[in-house]
Amino acid sequence: MAALLQRVVQASSLPSLSLWVLMIAGTSTLASAPPVPVVPAVQAVVDNAVHSAVARFAARSLQPDALAVTLVDLARPDCAGRGSHRGDVPIYPASVVKLFYLVAAHRWLEDGRLADTPELRRALSDMIVLSYNEATHYVVDLLTDTTSGPELSEAELERWFDRRNAVNRYFTSLGYVGINANKKPWCEGPYGREIQAIRAFEPKRNLLTTDATARLLFECATGQAVTPARSAAMLELLRRDLTNIPSDPDDQARFSGPALPAGAKLWSKAGWTSETRHDAILVELPNGRRFILVIFTVGHANERSILHHLVREVVAGLEQVPTS
């Protein structure tokens, strides 16, 4: 992993945002980021976008409580502004939780709690780039010193579950609230001690808020997620190629990418189930303006155009927000 970080920092082809991350981080303290303050102009962009989406999809029964949105305007990264709609509401995040496991893995690596191996690098890449659940299972096992398997006794299960909460304890220590990141994502399952723990302990599912997710992306974007070099390395995994988007309608680049103007750059982590469709994005527009947008939708998983509509409305709204 050290060699990978060195290549990220030194590569002349490094995307402009990653170079910007390293530059901005040079002036940061690398402590956990304070909450980005709500700015009325940015809040108005969110309010207008949500109102527009609810009106546009009224025939599909879209209601405001089916959406959670957080926007962070990075036009001035040293003085970022936030707006949100239901941003503090915990919602099942689907694969967006993998972003939290990625940051935790880099923290563990930095602290020497995880060994840097080719297999771990492969798993981290597959977890983020391809959103593989099996790769995530491996990462969660390493982070928490737990494994799936047969049922456990009550005492053994309590000890197992305490270890499984390692990632929660880390983010709680940084001041994150409204999140639960202690479950593996499944297509089929869970079984054995995994379902045993779900039945025994609360909450039953992973949970994130759009505010917490936007904060984590903000820390990556400003070099405050673990270290500047690790923040840049994580952004490399999140980068989506908008010049060659795959035809798969559920490819992560298609969640928000088609709604961005030509020439925009995208870093993202999407998540979806039969009930949810989410995207957490970091965008650099052709004019150099940058923003973070996290959108969670519930009950409209097959309505791909809701995300597109909200992204377009936010891009248009930001054009009216001064950059200085």
- For position 315, what pLDDT does the model report? 98
pTM of the model: 0.91
pLDDT in tens, 115-148: 999 999 999 999 999 999 999 999 999 999 999 9
- For position 145, what pLDDT does the model report? 98
Separation of CA 313 from chain center: 21
Sign of torsion, CA 31 161 238 2?
A: positive
Structure tokens at 183: 């479950």
pLDDT in tens, 252-309: 999 999 999 999 999 999 999 999 999 999 999 999 999 999 999 999 999 999 999 9
pLDDT in tens, 150-203: 999 999 999 999 999 999 999 999 999 999 999 999 998 899 999 999 999 999
Q: Which of 69-78, 114-123, 205-214, 218-227 shows the lowest per-residue confidence on average (mean pLDDT)? A: 69-78
CA pair distance 324, 320, nearest whole angstrom: 12
- Host H or E run for residue 295: strand 290-298
Non-local (6+) Cβ contacts of 305 within 8 A are 57
Cβ neighbourhood burial of 176 (10 Å; 0-12, 13-18, 19+): buried
pLDDT in tens, 55-96: 999 999 999 999 999 999 999 877 899 999 999 999 999 999
Q: What is the largest CA-CA distance in the chain?
A: 60
Cβ neighbourhood burial of 195 (10 Å; 0-12, 13-18, 19+): middle
CA pair distance 318, 290, nearest whole angstrom: 10
